[in-house]
Structure 1
Amino acid sequence: MRTQDTQDDPPVPPPAGERKDRRSVFQALPPLAWALLVLVAGLLLTAELARRDLRDSRQRADMLYNSLADAAQVRLDDALDTAAVALRAMQTVLLSAGDLDQTTYAHYHDNLRAVDDLPGYLATAFARRHAVTAADGTPLYRYELLAPLEGNEMLLWLDITTQPDNLAALERARDADRPSMSAPFQLTQFRDAGDAGLGITLRLPVYSRGRAPETVDARRARETGVLAMSLRLEPLVRTALQGRILEYMHVALRDTGAADNGHVFASGPLPVEAGAPAYTRMLEFGDPRWELRMQPLQAPADGDRSQSIILLGTLISVLAALLLWSIAGTHRRALALGQRMSARVSESEARFRTLNELLPALVLLADADGTITYANQFARRRLGDVVGTRLDALYSDPGPRMAVADASGREAGWEEREMEITTGKGSFWARVSLAPVVVDGQPHMLLTATDISEQRELNARLRYQASHDALTELCNRREFERQLALALAGRRAHPETPPFALLYFDVDQFKLVNDLSGHRAGDQMLVEMVLAIGQNLREGDLFARLGGDEFGLLAYGVNETEALALAERLRRCIDSVRFVWQGRTHSVSASIGVVMSDRAGATLQDVMAWADSACYQAKENGRNRVHLYREDDDSTRRHSEMEWASRMRSAIEQGRLLLDYQEVVPLTTAAADGPHIELLLRLRDENGAVVLPGAFMPAAERYGLMPTVDRWVIGTVLGNFARLHPAGAQLQTCAINLSGASIDDEDLAAFILDCIARHKVPAQRVCFEITETVAVRSLLRVTRVIERLRTAGCRIALDDFGSGMSSFGYLKNLPVDVIKIDGSFIREVDTDPMSRTIVSAIVQIGHQRGLKVVAEWVDNDGARGVLDELGVDYGQGFALHEPERVMFQR
C-alpha cells in the first residue's frame, strides 16, 4: 500500500547522466583518502600556527626582559643620584656654615633629612685635610665630623690615606668637583655578613669659601676636606630593583675594574638552564664601571600555548577527518540503500503493514465515508474487530463524529486531541491524531492514538496530592488559601452575596502529646479528631489542615450568630474525643478563632492574621473555647507576649532555665563511637512546673531575648560539658541550636571560641545547629560565622533540611558537616513512597558531599528499619531515646 499527500506531486528524478556527474565528484576517491587529505591539511595548518605562535611568544618574552633590564639600569642610576644629591646638600651646608663642631654638624645632618628614605644608608662623615703630611708627602685626611655618631664611632680620626682605594676616589672627586664612588669593600660593621656586608663610599670635596674653582689646580689649592657617605650595597640594590625585576630576573652586579671577577651583588641562585639569554647593561658613576647582568629566573613558558595549539589543532583535524570519513561513508551507504529500496518498491505495502503491526499505538485507516478498512495488531487487541465499523463511532464526543462524517479533504484532520474512546471492551482515554491520506489514489483518513489512561490517572493523583494533606486527606494550606482568596474576591465583586466565616482551629497541648507519646501518637490523635469533626460538618463547607495542629474551616452563607454556633458545636465535638495510646488516655480540645468576611477591603493575609489572633486569644482566655475576632485582639496578643518576655527575663536572672538532652543514635551497622546528644531548652515557671519552649520561644524571639538565651545555653553547656550525660567526658558530640537573632550577632563566634578555650572543651565535640530557614535568610552572614567556627574545629549541622523551597539549590554553598532531615519526611517514611524517595535523595546527596545525615522524629521501629536500609547515619526521636534532664541539673 503506497501513501502520498493529496496535493504534492511525486518528485521527478534528475537525468541519469547528471546524477552520475554529481556522484563522480565525491566518489572519485574512497572515503579514507578524503579523510587522510583533510587530516594532513589540518596538521600542516596546525604546525604553521604553532610555529608562528612560538615565534611571537619568544618575541614578547624578549621585549619584556629588555624592558626590565632597562628599568633596572635606570633605577640603580636613580638610587646613586639620590645619594649624590644628599651628599651635595651637606657640601652646601659646610660651604655656607664654615667650621662646625660635632653637635652642630649632627644638627644640620638631621635637619636636612635628605637620607631618611635612602636604603642602605650608614653615615655621612667629614674628613678635614691637614697640612701635616704622611711619610710619602701625601696630605692627611682624618674624619672629624660624623653623623649619625652612634654605631660609627670607630670612623672618628680615621685617616683616609691609609686606604688607597678610598684615597684614589677622594682625589678623583676633588679634581672633578663631582661625586666619586669607591670600589666595593667589606664594611667593618658587617664583617661577618659575607657579600651582604659589602658597601661603597661616595665622596665629594669641600672647598674654602668663594667662587667655585674651575681648574684642577684651583680645586687642589682650595680643598679644605672631603665629605664621605657610606652605603650598604645589598639593601640599596634590592630596594631599587624590588618588584617585577627581582620577581622575574636574576640580577648580578660586577665591578669591571676589579682585579678578580669583581662580584658585587647577586639577587640569589640562578635556577635556569644553561644557555639562558642574558641581558647586560653598564652602570657608570664617576670612574667605576659596573656590569649589570640579568637572566630570567625561569625559562619562558613559550611552548605552553604552542602545545595547546598543536593538541587542539590535531584533535580538530582528526575529528574533521573522521567526520568527513563518516559523511562519505554514510553517503555511499545511503546511495546503496536508495538503490536497494528503489529495487523493492513492490514490497512497500507489505513493509508498511508490518511496521504498523509492530507499533505500540493504535493505527486505523478509514475510507472517505469513515468506514474502517484497516486496524493494526495493537488496535485489534484494544478495540476488538472494528474493521467495517465507522470511525466516528469510537468517540463519545459528537465534534469528531461530524468532522469525519462531513470531510474528505485536509481540513478534516487534527492533531493531539485527548478524547475518550469507547469500545465493547470498555473505554479509555487516548491522545488522538487524524490526518487525510491518499491510498491507491483514493482519499482516506489515518488515525493514530496513544493510550494515556495511566498518565491521566497519575496527573490526577499528583494534583490531588498537591492540594491535600497526606495524613488527614483534608485540603492543605495552599488549597485552603486559594479557596479563601476566591471567596474574598467573590465578596468584593458581589457584595450582596451572603457572608462567610473563617474558623481557625488550634489543638490545645498538642506538643505535650508528641513529647509524652511520640509523633506517631500525635498523628493518630489528629486523624481521630478529624473523623469526629467530619461527622458534624455542613455540606459545602471546606475543612483543611493548615499545618501541624492547625486547621481551618470555610463556612459559607452564615452570619455571625450562625458561625459562632457552628464553632461551638465543633468545639464540643472535639472535646468529646478521648484518645487512647499504649494504655495512656489523652483528652482532646481545641481553641477556635472566628473571623467574619464582612470587613471591607480585607485581604487573604489580613483574614488569616485575624483568625490567628482570635485563636490565640481563645488560648489566652483558658483554651477549649471559641473567640470571635475583635480589633483589640492583636494588642492583647502583644500584651501576652510581653508578659512572657518579662517572665523569661526573670527566669534567666533567677536561674530557672533548664536543659534536657536527647541522644542521637547511630542507625547503620557500624559500631557507635560514643554518645551523641542534642540539648533541648526548658523553663521552670514560678510554681515549679516545667514549661516547654513552644510557650515562651515566640515571645523571646519577638522581644530580642534569643541572643541572651543562646549565650546562656552556650556558656552553661561548655562550662559543664563533662556533666551533661552519664558518659561524662566520653561524650562524643553535643549539639546546640542557634537562633536567627544570634547569627546576626557579629560577636557570637568570638564568644563561642572564647568559651571553648576557657573551659578547655575539644572544639570537634561541639556541634551547632542552624535551621534551614535561618540559613537561607542570611546566607552570607551565616557562611562567615560557619567558616570561623569550622576553622576552629567545631561541627555545623543544617537543621530541618527539606522544609525550604530550594534546599538542594543552596546546599552546595553552605559549608556544613551534618544535615538533619525535617521530621515531616521521616514521620511517614515507612508508609509513604514519596517521603521514602525524598529521604533517599537527601541521603545520596549528603553522602556525596561527605556529610553525615540525621533523621528527626523517629517514632517507631518500622521507620528505623527503613532509614537504616536507606543509609541514614543517625536517628533522633522517641523510638530511640526520650529526652532526659542533664546530669548537673538533676
Structure 2
Amino acid sequence: MVDPAIPQPPRWHLAAWLWSLLALLLGLLLSLAAHEQQMRRLQAERTLIRNEMASKAYVSLQGRLHAAESLLRAAQSLFLSSEEVDAGEYAGFYANMRPREQFPGLLALAYAQREQRPDGEHYVTRWVEPEPGNERVVGLDVGMQPRNLAGLLASRDDDLATLSAPFHLAQLAEAGMTGEGVTLRLPIYGPGPPPRTVEERRARVRGSIAVSFRLDDLIGNALPDQLTRHLSVRVSDITGPDALQLFDSTPGLLVPPDGYRYESKLTYGGRVWNVVMQPLPHRTGAGAGGWGRATLLAGVVASILLALLAYSVASTRQRALALGWRMSRRYRESEERFRALNELLPALVLLAEAAGGAVTYANQASRDRLGRHATERQLPELFEDPELRAQLQQDDTRGCSRVDALLRNDEGGAFWASVAISRIRLNGRDKLLMVASDISEQRQLTELLSHQASHDALTELYNRREFERRLHDTLAATGAGTPPAVLLYIDLDQFKLINDTSGHLAGDQLLAQLAIVMRKQLGGTDVLARLGGDEFGVLATNVADRDEAERIAERVRRCIDGYIFIWEQRSCTISASIGGVMIDRPGILVKDLLAQADTACYMAKELGRNRVHFFSERDDETVRRHGEMEWANRLRWAVDEHRLVLTYQEIWPLPLAAGGEPDVELLLRFREESGQLVAPGVFMPAAERYGLMPVVDRWVIETTLANFDRLHPSGGALRMVAINLSGASVEDEALAGLIIGLLRRYRVEPSRVCFEITETVAVRNLSQVVRFMEQLRAVGCRIALDDFGAGMSSFTYLKNLPLDIIKIDGSFVRDMLTDPVSHLMVRAVTDIGHRLGLEVVAEWVADAETVQALAALGVNRVQGFSLHRPEPALFQRD
C-alpha cells in the first residue's frame, strides 16, 4: 500500500512506460540488426553454393559443345586421310566412335556433298548415321533449311566449327516431335595443304559434316540433376537482334526473383547463347529462416528483459521520491529478478562504461566463455582485432553493428563470436551494451568443409580440383612481363607392386610420407597436390628459366629415389617418372597443359623410368608411334584371324560411250571385330614402319590368284587385275620367283595380272626394281607405275623402266579443270606415255567433266569414285 501522506508525482507512470518503450525499441533494433546480419551471412553462403552449381553447369554445357566438335574433327580426319571414303567406311567410323554413349541426345551424324548444278551450288545430304529415324534426311538439300545452310556456309569460309541458329529438324518433323534443334558443322576440303583464304576454301570444298541435336536433349543432358532441383535454367540465342528461346528447364513456371540471378554469355561456333539461372520457388532455404527466427526470438526475449529493466529502473527512481525505503526495496527485488532472468540467457550480455570501457556487468554465459574475472577487464581488451579495439577506446564511440570478432578469455584462449555493441544511457551515464553469440562451432565447421573441398584426405595436400584452379589462375596471370612457371606431373614407378605385396595400408602410408618428403624440397609459394592414385602435381611460380625448372624437378626426383620406406620390418625404395611443362606463354588451356605434362611423363617412363622429361613437340609424334605399335600388334595376327579383306575398284576404258569391259584394281581393308572395314590409310603406316608389308603383300598376291575368277561379277571373263606392291616387297629377291610359282599353281594367265609400283618406290632402288620388273614381264605379267608425277625426276628415269602402264597421280587429275599447271602436267604425261608406247590411266576422277577432258587429251583408261566405289570381292562378301 502507498502511504497517502507522501506526495506522489502525477506522471511517474508515464515516464516509466516511456523509458520501458525506449529500451524495448532499442533491444528490438539490436535483435533485428543481429537477425539481418545472420540472414545476410546465410544468403551469402546460399549464393556461393548456387554460383558453384551454375558455374559447373555452364562449364558442362561448354564442354558438351567442345566434345561435339571433337567428334566432327575425327570425322573430318577420316575424309582428309583417304580419297576413297564410302558409305561403309562412314558407317564403320560412326560405329567405332559410338557417339551416342557420350551424346544420348544426338540425332544424326550427316555428310552433305557439294554438287554443282545449273542453278548454282547445292549441298545434298548423302550419308546419315544412324539410319533408323533419319530416313528423311538422306537426299535432303541443306539449302531448303536457311538457318542450317547459313551455318554450313560460315564453316566453309572460316574452316571453323559453326553452330547453326535453332530450326525444326527434318527428322523431328517426320517423327511428329515438337521443339527445335541445331547443327554443328565442319567443312570437308579436297586433299592438299590447308586452304588459307576464303576463295581457296570455297573452291576446294567437297562437302560438309554435321552433327544434329534436339536442343532440349543437348542442353538438358549437360545439366546436373542437382542443379535442376534447385535452379531454373533458361538458355536463349542472342546472336541476332531478336532473342530466340532455346531451353527452359521449368516451362510455364513463373520464377519469382529472390535477389539471386546467374547470367553468362556462352560464345561458341559463331553463336552467342545467354544462360540465365534463378532459384526455384520451392528451394528458398527454409532451414536458414528457422535459424534466423531463433536468433530473432532470443533477441526479442533480451529486448523484453531490457525493457523490464528500464521500466524497473525508471519506476523505482520515481517511486523512491515518493515511497522511500519501501519502494527502494521493491527496486532491489526487481533488479534481482532481472539479473536472475538475464543469467539464464544463452547469449553473452555485457555492460560497460562508455568512458574507459570498464565492464560493470557480465551475465553467466559471458563469465563462462570470458572467465570469472570478466567484470575486472576493459571492454576493448576482450577483442583481438586492433582496429575494433581502437574504435571502442574512443570517447565518442557508438559501438558497432553485428560483426564476427575473435574474443579472448582470462586464460588467453580465443573463440569466435557474432557481436553487436550499442551506446545507451542508463542512470544518466553513457554505457556500452554488448550482446554476442558464440559461433566457434559454426565457423570451425565452415572452415572444415572448405578444407575438405580443396584437400586430399590421405596426404593433406591440395586435391586435383584445387590444383587445377590454381593452375588456371597462374595461366590467367601469364603475360609478356611475368616470370615463367613450371608444371610437374609426377607418377610413381611400380607403385602397384607395393600395394600387391604389402597391402593398400602400406601404399597409403608411403603416399603420406612421400608427400612430406616432397614438400620439403619445394619453396613456400610452390603448390604440391595429389592428383589421384599415385600421381602428384607441382606448380612452381617465378622460375627464372628452363634450367631452374629442371633443377627443381630433378631435386624432387632425387628425394623420392633416395627415400627408404620401412613397413613391418621390411624396407623398400621407389622411384618416380616426372613430366614437366614450362608455362611461359598465354593462351593455353588448363586441359591442354595437363595433357602435355601427362605426355611428358609418359615419355619419361618410355625412356626407362626414374627420370625427368620436359615436353616438346616431338613428344606428340612419339605418342602417334605408340598408336602405330598397337596397330602393328593387331596386323601380326590379322591373317590368322581373317581380318584382311580384298575390295576392288573398276577401271574403265575411254571413251565411255564406246562401251568395253572394265579392269579392276584390288584394294586392301582391315575388318574390325564389329565387322566394319577400316581404310588402309589407318593401318598401312604401322605395317610399313614395323616391316609387316612383305607378309601383307604375299597374302594379297596368293589370295588374289587363288580366287581369281571369283573377284568380280565378270568371273573368268575379267581382262586384267591390278595388285599393289610395297617397296619392302619389291626389294625382296625371292618375291618374283614366288609370284611365278603361284601363277602356275593356280593356272592364272600372266597377261591378266598387273603389278603396280609407286614412283617413290621405283626410284628408291632403281636397279633392283628393274630386275624385278623384267622377271615378271618375261613370263607375261604387266607392270604399272602408280602415282606418276609425284616424284622430282619422273621424266629422267621413265625411259629406263620396263613398263606397260603409267597411272597419273590423282592430285593432278583432281585439279586439272581449275589449275592450268595440273592440266598441263596431265597433258605432258599422256603425250610422253604414248610416245613410249605405254597405256595411260588417270586416277581420282570425280565428275563427268573431268572424264570428257581426259578423253580429249587421249588418256586410255580412268578410275575414281564417280565411276565406281570400291566393294568387297565376291568370294569375301559372305
TM-score bracket, normalised by the shorter chain, equals: 0.3 to 0.5
TM-score by length of 2: 0.34
TM-score by length of 1: 0.33
Bigger radius of gyration, 1 or 2?
A: 1
